[in-house]
Amino acid sequence: MEETILQWDGEYTVVRYDRDAGAWVFIAIHSSRLGMPVGGTRLKLYNSPRDGLLDAQRLAAGMTYKWAAIDFPLGGGKGVIALSHPLERVERERLLERYGALVESLRGGFGTGADLGVGPAEVDTIARRTRYVFCGAPGEGGSGDPGPWTSLGVHAGMQAAAGEAFGSPDLKGRTVLIQGTGDVGVPLARRLAESGAKLKLADVEAGRARALAKELGTEVVAAERVYGEPCDIFAPCAVGGVLNAETIPKLRCRVVAGSANNQLETPEDAERLHEHGILYAPDFIINAGGAIAFGGIKALGMSETEARERILAIGATLKDIFMNAEGRGESSLHAAERLAQHVLQRG
């Protein structure tokens, strides 16, 4: 872990071993250049503490880019609670409270909210011990839940990507494969069903995918089969690292547009997608809806209407990115990173 901390280009990492829960807690602060570092907290089982630390570092860097690309005066940070074994409800609650106290001890050095494994209920538990929790916005699915907002942005981004790849933003009749029917996957699937898209749903917890498929009258795909499954648009909405040297050659889609953070295992995977003729909607652009709602309304005092407009504008941002990438013969990731870098350098 020493190596992992030393090689990182971020500002600092808070590391705590929570003895009672046998869990490692990491708060990675990547950049405070544009403002207070804000990012969700992820709670999940990891194979090793180092995996949790790496995830925190990469997710925090992703937040720096996410805030910069939408030109919000907030910095990049992320919390990871790396469980070594599943916890009972009460143990989990205690752990989240202790985590809240840790966040509070940073005195505004980090603000947090929901992410994978941390939904509205968990956010409320963390908020018992710290004021540096920004819950989601009212409306669109209640208190601490950024998922519906994220799905709104992914839907808009998917339309832009369809416009670029198929010549029309209309998703009617397009086959969309959603990997992960969780906090974002579910509201996204409902929106897509309304748009007349044909859905294929997959989840590592097969029951979750099945329940949603039943509700929407759509197809289920086994989680281990998603990469070879034919579709127009592949939407990763679960964990990161799913686009890599092994999976990309198997993909049978024209577009990748989903909500997961850090979808690419390495930056070279953007080139790899490009070479395979697959249009990639950079994750930190298309998945910014939750961050816009959460950061905009709660941290920056935007109105709900303004937040919604900014989320829908993700479509136009992506369109520009695709155009710039095309013009320069570069990957969409490159074009998106240039956009974020421009804001970061301006400071």
Give, as ranges, the residues between 186 and 245 that touch ligand PHE (CB under 6 A).
Answer: none
Structure-token match 């808070």, residue found: 14
Which H helix or E strand runs over 309?
helix 304-312
Candidate residues 10, 39, 76, 153; the one interacting with ligand PHE per rule CB under 6 A: 39
**Closer Cβ to ligand PHE, 278 or 321, answer by number:** 321
Q: Which stretch binds ligand PHE (CB under 6 A): 221-229, 288-296, 300-308, 310-318?
A: 288-296
Cα 168–chain centre separation: 26
The residue type found at 38 is V
Minimum CB distance to ligand PHE smaller for 278 or for 286 = 286
- Tokens matching residue 172: 């009617």
Cα–Cα distance for residue pair 198/217, rounded to 1 Å: 10
- Considering the complex, state which of residue 87 and residue 291 has its C-beta at the smaller distance from ligand PHE: 291
Kindly tell me which of 82 and 291 has the beta carbon lying closer to ligand PHE. 291
CB 184 within 8 A of CB 147: yes
Helix (H, G, I), strand (E, B) or coil at 178: strand
**Alpha carbons 260 and 331: distance in angstroms, whole number:** 19
Q: Is residue 114 within the footprint of ligand PHE (CB under 6 A)?
A: yes
CB 101 within 8 A of CB 112: no
Which residue among the candidates 78, 198, 200, 319 is catalytic per the annotation? 78
Binding ligand PHE by CB under 6 A: which of 192, 291, 297, 333? 291
Q: Are 223 and 239 in contact, with CB atoms under 8 Å apart?
A: no
Q: Is 290 in the site for ligand PHE (CB under 6 A)?
A: yes
Query: Which residue is nearest to ligand PHE, using beta carbons?
Result: 40
38 near ligand PHE, rule: CB under 6 A:
yes
d(CA 62, CA 75): 10
Stretch that binds ligand PHE, among 113-121, 173-181, 188-196, 210-218 (CB under 6 A): 113-121
As measured in angstroms, the least distance from the Cβ of 326 to ligand PHE is 27
Strand residues in the chain grouped as ranges (E): 12-18, 23-31, 37-38, 41-45, 75-83, 175-179, 198-202, 219-220, 233-236, 255-256, 279-280
171 interacts with ligand PHE by CB under 6 A: no
CB 59 within 8 A of CB 28: yes
Catalytic residue list contains 78: yes
Instruction: Give the nearer residue to ligand PHE in terms of CB position, either 258 or 290.
Output: 290
- CB of 245: closest distance to ligand PHE in angstroms? 25
Q: State yes or no: residue 296 binds ligand PHE (CB under 6 A).
A: no
107 CB contacts (<8 Å, ≥6 apart)? none
**Which position has the token pair 């400071």?**
347
Q: Using CB under 6 A, which of the segments 84-92, 111-119, 245-253, 331-339 binds ligand PHE?
A: 111-119
Stretch that binds ligand PHE, among 12-20, 101-109, 110-118, 165-173 (CB under 6 A): 110-118
What is the set of active-site residues?
Answer: 78
Interface residue list for ligand PHE (CB under 6 A): 38-40, 113-115, 146, 261, 287, 290-291, 294-295
